[in-house]
Amino acid sequence: GENVEQHPSTLSVQEGDSAVIKCTYSDSASNYFPWYKQELGKRPQLIIDIRSNVGEKKDQRIAVTLNKTAKHFSLHITETQPEDSAVYFCAASSDLNDMRFGAGTRLTVKP
Amino acid sequence: GAVVSQHPSRVICKSGTSVKIECRSLDFQATTMFWYRQFPKQSLMLMATSNEGSKATYEQGVEKDKFLINHASLTLSTLTVTSAHPEDSSFYICSARKGSGYTFGSGTRLTVV
C-alpha cells in the first residue's frame, strides 16, 4: 500500500520568511496530492492540492510542487504570518487507493 | 459544497460500554466513506473504508469486532466502538470522497473513563 513520509516534523520560522515542507510517497499509482492544515481538535482543512498531470500549482502565498519521477511533492508558504501556525499534513491517494497521510509538520511562525 | 456532518463532537463513556459515531453526507451521496483515528500530536491513521451496502474494509491491525462500521445508506456511515477501553480514547474523524476531492466530518473526541 501507499506510504507517505513527511519532513520536517517541526518547523519554526520568523514572520515574513518562507516555509517548505516536503513529502515522499511510494505508490506510483497515486495521482492526487492534497495538503491540509489542521488546528487543534478540528478537522483538516484543504489548503491546496495537485494532481499528477501538473508539476506546480500556486494559490497566493501557497504553492505546491510535484516531482512524479522522484515521487516527492512539497508545500511552499511565502511571507508567512502568525496565523499560518498550525499542523500541516500532506496526503496521497489514487483512484483505487484510500488517502494516506504524512506524519504532519508543526509550523510555528514567530512574530 | 460537499458537507459531511459528524456526531457527536464529544463523548465521554465508561469502560465497557459502546459508543456510536455517525457521519452523514448532507448534500451528496457517498458510496465510500473513510474512518480515521488520530492520537494527540500524531497523524490521521486510516482505520477502515466503509462501502455502502457491503462490508467495510479494515486496515491491518484494526479489530473489526471492536470497531463496527455500518454503511446502510448512501448518506450515512456509523462507527461503533464496542466495549470501550481507556486506550480507545482518541479523535475519530470520517471522510467522504466526492468527485475528485475529499470532505471531512468535524471529528469526535472520545474519552473513555
DSSP calls for A6-21: EE-SEEEEETTS-EEE
DSSP string computed for A62-74: EEEEEETTTTEEE
Residue type, A75: L
What is the signed CA dihedral for A56, A86, B41, A104, rounded to 10 degrees? 10
Q: Does A43 touch chain B (CB under 8 A)?
A: yes
Kindly tell me if the per-residue pLDDT of A2 is higher than 80.
Answer: yes
**Mutation site for B-interface testing, chosen from A43, A54, A90, A99 by largest number of B Cβ within 10 Å:** A43
Closest CB from A43, A99, A106 relative to B34: A99
Closest CB from B102, B105, B107 relative to A99: B102
Q: Does A103 touch chain B (CB under 8 A)?
A: yes
Interface of B to A at Cβ within 8 Å reads 34, 36, 41-46, 49, 91, 93, 95, 100-102, 104-107, 109
Please give the Cα distance from A49 to A37 (Å, whole number).
Answer: 12
**Mutation site for A-interface testing, chosen from B44, B58, B69, B97 by largest number of A Cβ within 10 Å:** B44
Residue A97 has a pLDDT of: 63
Residue B101 has a pLDDT of: 80
Over range A34-57, report the average pLDDT: 92
Please give the Cα distance from B51 to B57 (Å, whole number).
Answer: 8
| Residue A62 C-alpha, separation from nearest chain B C-alpha, in angstroms | 19
Q: Does A35 touch chain B (CB under 8 A)?
A: no
Residue A77 has a pLDDT of: 98
Kindly tell me if the per-residue pLDDT of A96 is higher than 70.
Answer: no
B108 band by pLDDT with thresholds 50, 70 and 90 = very high
